[in-house]
A and B are shown apart, each in its own frame.
Chain A
């Protein structure tokens, strides 16, 4: 059963029942789901969690959904890989990869959409909606299909056909909007008020964001019920970053792990780094930017949770690192070559940020570190197309092979 009790405003503390609202009626601050942790103590244990399914639903007590409403694609409980080759390359003692490319639609968005879509069904919504250029749309369309719901996906008019396909296969209604990304933002915010639809990251955003906490839970559990010393997490809106920290903190509060400190480092591409820029300037005010980077899945110029991400950096003693596009591509290749994990550009941002943080002495090479790889590389092949090895061309004879193979250094 779920122990979710109410929504609480993150700014003024005003609380309200569990309803499909995103903003506080008083101050318009963002709402967040609250839980009865006292009731969970002694009931939610390592044993009870271990006995659950190998998916995010093993943490059902900590998710705001009643079991009968779940839309279950077996999301989560993705591998945590010890990355010794990469650690050696980077001069680190203990490095882990949380490989969230292994989700049903190949990105961590399945976690947030699994929770948002299930809660939407619990609210009685029949339509799931989102505005997305890729991963989010894929996951919304897949969950709607699985849950017997209608999906409406809004995309910018100039989105490449290949990116649309990953959603279109699930047969949602796809609406291409003429205009800028800002126009799509505004339209969808207005539609969320006008239509009885569950816009996963608008009117059901408080529930949506909760799904990211499962990444923190899984890492702690998979490390043998302990905290890592450091996490490196990609940042777009900043919600994933804050919720992983919240997940680890909740586990410590519940006595499931020791309350050891975790330093949280956020990774952004230089071409869209409003949170890292604010951190570097020592301000809590985020200045919106126009994204210009190959890391499209992190291209949020006006991040809703940027302020809260900065607070987590302050509280945890971590920080933020921004990296240029060429380093993103190099890191995608390094991750694949060292550990066999093909990440999308966001994964390149994360590893490049780790590399840069180590080089600048900001990230400790001796500390147990987890990097979060949040999406699969087949979604962004264009980023590495010109930078990967080419086939050796030969004739169909042994001689031709031997000659060419030797010439290639074989």
Chain B
């Protein structure tokens, strides 16, 4: 089993869609939310995703395909 800590950013209509629920049901993944902030038309969720490494990659690719931005928890690390 592997795990990955990620930050999902949702914009527009995606804020109201149960995408994290679907991630946990359509893929063999366990999602564990640790922090979140959601307002009208925008929100972010920090969570841990647990499962087989390949399945995590597939699940994250699916989230991105839904229009969700996926980042490492600590923000950008490429600095000037």
Contact = CB atoms under 8 A, between A and B. Distances in A.
Given A23-B5, A288-B9, A288-B71, A28 B76 contact: no
Chain B at the A interface: mostly helix, strand, loop or mixed?
Answer: strand
B1 interface: no
Contacts, number: 99
B80 interface: yes
Interface string B1-34: 0000100010100000000000000000000001
A301 B43 CA distance: 16
Contacts of A186: 72
B42 A237 contact: no
Contact of A132 (B5, B43, B69, B79): B79
Given A23-B5, A26-B34, A236 B72 contact: no
B73 to A, nearest CB: 5
A131 B5 contact: no
Contact of A30 (B5, B39, B74): B74
A79 B59 CA distance: 52
B75 A304 contact: yes
Contact of B75 (A134, A156, A285, A300): A300
B74 A202 contact: yes
Given A23-B5, A302-B71, A285 B42 contact: yes
Contacts of B39: 283, 285
A201 B78 CA distance: 9
B42 A287 contact: yes
B62 interface: no
A397 B60 CA distance: 71
Interface residues of A, number: 48
Contacts of A297: 79-80
B80 A135 contact: yes
Interface residues of B, number: 23
Q: Which of B42, B43, B75, B77 has the largest number of chain A CB atoms within 10 A?
A: B77
A44 B75 CA distance: 35
Contact of A236 (B42, B48, B80): B80
A288 B69 contact: yes
A185 B78 contact: yes
Nearest to A379: B80
Interface string A128-139: 001111111000
A268 interface: no
Interface string A287-309: 11000000011111111111000
A30 B34 CA distance: 13
B54 interface: no
A188 B80 contact: no
A237 B76 contact: yes
Contact of B80 (A11, A28, A134, A182): A134
Interface string A1-37: 0000000000100000000001100111110000000
Contact of A304 (B5, B35, B74): B74
B80 A302 contact: no
A241 to B, nearest CB: 14
Contacts of A189: 72-74, 77
Interface in A132-177: 132-136, 154, 156
A296 B35 contact: no
Given A26-B34, A285-B42, A201 B72 contact: no
Contacts of B35: 11, 27-29
A287 B7 CA distance: 12
B62 to A, nearest CB: 16
Given A237-B75, A237-B79, A288-B9, 14 more contacts: A22-B74, A28-B5, A136-B79, A181-B76, A184-B78, A185-B76, A189-B72, A201-B79, A236-B79, A237-B76, A283-B39, A288-B71, A297-B80, A303-B75
